[in-house]
Amino acid sequence: MELNALEAVVIERSGADPDASYTARLLADSVLIRRKIMEEAFEVTLELEAAEPDKARVAEEAADLLYHLTVGLVSAGVSIGDVLDELAARRR
């Protein structure tokens, strides 16, 4: 899945019932979004700190982090394109 596709799924689910959609529940609770981003960042960091990181576990935790970060970005009105533009500007 590409990041733009992930962003599209998050935007699509933003109008769903929070009781039926985890994404909608996150978008309805900015504190929960921030907590989940911090939790997932910590978990991926723990996996990376291992003497021999398990690639599958790192990928799983990184996927969780990217998902929750994307929800946070959508909540803040920041697109994946905005982030990529910022990264491109830093390369100049």
**% of the chain beyond a pLDDT of 90:** 98
Which domains, and CATH codes, for the chain? 3-91 (1.10.287.1080)
Residue at token pair 């929750």: 68
34-92 pLDDT, tens digit per residue, is 999 999 999 999 999 999 999 999 999 999 999 999 999 999 999 999 999 999 999 98
Cα–Cα distance for residue pair 18/78, rounded to 1 Å: 21
Distance, in Å, from the CA atom of 24 to the CA atom of 60, rounded to the nearest integer, reads 22
Burial class (CB in 10 A: 0-12, 13-18, 19+), 13: buried
